[in-house]
Amino acid sequence: ITYAIKHLFSGPALSKHQDVFDQPALNDFMGLGHEAWKEARMFLQKLLSANEPTLRENSELRKRAFVPQASTIMHLPAKIGDYTDFYSSREHATNVGIMFRGKENALMPNWLHLPVGYHGRASSVVVSGTPIQRPVGQMRPDDAKPPVFGACKLLDIELEMAFFVGPGNKFGEPIPINEAHEHIFGMVLMNDWSARDIQKWEYVPLGPFLGKSFGTTISPWVVTMEALMPFVLPNPVQVPKPLPYLCDEEPYTFDINLFVAIKGEGMSTPATICKSNFKYMYWTMKQQLAHHSINGCNLRPGDLLASGTISGPDPENFGSMLEMSWKGTKVIDLGNGHSRKFLQDGDEVIITGYCQGNGYRVGFGQCSGKVLPAISAP
């Protein structure tokens, strides 16, 4: 819609930047900052309101402005220069820690002091609807035997959300936490596909690599932070208190209902396997951003920062099949005789989410992908 009506954006923040709506991605618009975002949002709301004649009474402009959804091909909302994935759900980190290290050592010593994260692969972030090929790689299913090569057998999902960076920071200049919100444009749904058997063998000592880099799916619609502010919640109590550069009293946790469903081959309808909420996150987006830049790392418009798996206190809130099946020891019931421990070829994973207002919802659309069989090894 915006490229056809860019001349109508004549407010003080956008009148000299109408060219941002000619671009194939939102990076330039993201880089303009809050005043431009707010002005664009308010103008579009006015333009689409029932009592606004600009489009209603101009059939030619209306024809150029609107594209039928059925004939639309969605793309990534931004050109993603860098992608970072955090590990910010205490429940998820605790569950995984119990599985692999025992209850006494569930959380690593650093976890309660900083938002743990790693640099992911931006080139394999894909838009919702893109099929995901089952990855191949090295695994060591039997610790008493040498590693083997083959198709991943423990393919998993991770329910996540991610935010796009707006204006960046200069190289060498950290973003103070009390200014971090000025650099956060908006949020999308994410599925961080994970090859658990490949990941388990490779991750020591440098962390995830091929077990993650084969594909990450995001929803095409970005919900701006301004649209989410009516759903803000108090931040979780953090004990011990973080170091000063991570301390922030301003609420920045959000009530976002999240769902994961699987539709396997032979299933007539998807089966919901997870009902979670973004409010369960321990580390906030502002803390993640402040920590990411504290060493002087420069972030740029369109960079993507992900939450990590979003798990809650109850089994129905677990955001990965690793947790739902408790490392493959339990069956996940999909109904009508279907069950899973991990993903099978042909499974479609569908993530949805929304914020519930008084008589209205703010939706995030859909983040989906279908598992294709592994390619033959070279």
Three-state DSSP at 140 gives coil
| Residue 101 marked as a ligand binder | yes
Which of 34, 92, 183, 292 is catalytic? The answer is: 92
Question: Is 199 annotated as a binding-site member?
Answer: yes
Known active-site residue 92: yes
Residue with tokens 């951003």: 289
Task: In whole angstroms, give the CA distance from residue 56 to residue 66.
Answer: 12
Check: CB of residue 215 under 8 Å from CB of residue 126: yes
- What is the rounded CA–CA span in Å between residue 219 and residue 191? 9
> Is 160 a known ligand-binding residue?
yes
Residue 196 labeled ligand binder: no
Residue 176, preceding peptide bond in cis (omega within 30° of 0): no
87 annotated ligand binder:
yes
Annotated binding residue 158: yes
**8 A C-beta contact, residue 287 and residue 265:** no
Contacts of 218 (CB under 8 A, 6+ apart): 76, 125, 126, 127, 128, 162, 188, 189, 190, 191, 304, 367
Query: Is there a binding annotation on residue 82?
Result: no
| 224 marked as part of a ligand binding site | no
Nearest in space to 41 (alpha carbons), one of 186, 236, 171, 234 = 186
Buried residues in 263-298 as b, exposed as e (16+ CB within 10 A) = bbeebeebbebbebbbbbbbbbbbbbbbbbbbeebe
- In degrees, rounded to 5, the angle at the alpha carbon of residue 364 between the alpha carbons of residues 359 and 370 is 135
45 marked among binding-site residues: no
- The CA-based angle 311-77-280, given to 5 degrees, is 15
Q: Which residue numbers are catalytic? A: 92
Task: Tell me the binding residues for Mg(2+).
Answer: 192, 212, 216
Annotated binding site: 85, 87, 101, 158, 160, 192, 199, 203, 212, 216, 309
Question: Which residues does the annotation place in the binding site for substrate?
Answer: 87, 101, 199, 203, 309
Annotated binding-site residues for Ca(2+) read: 85, 158, 160, 192
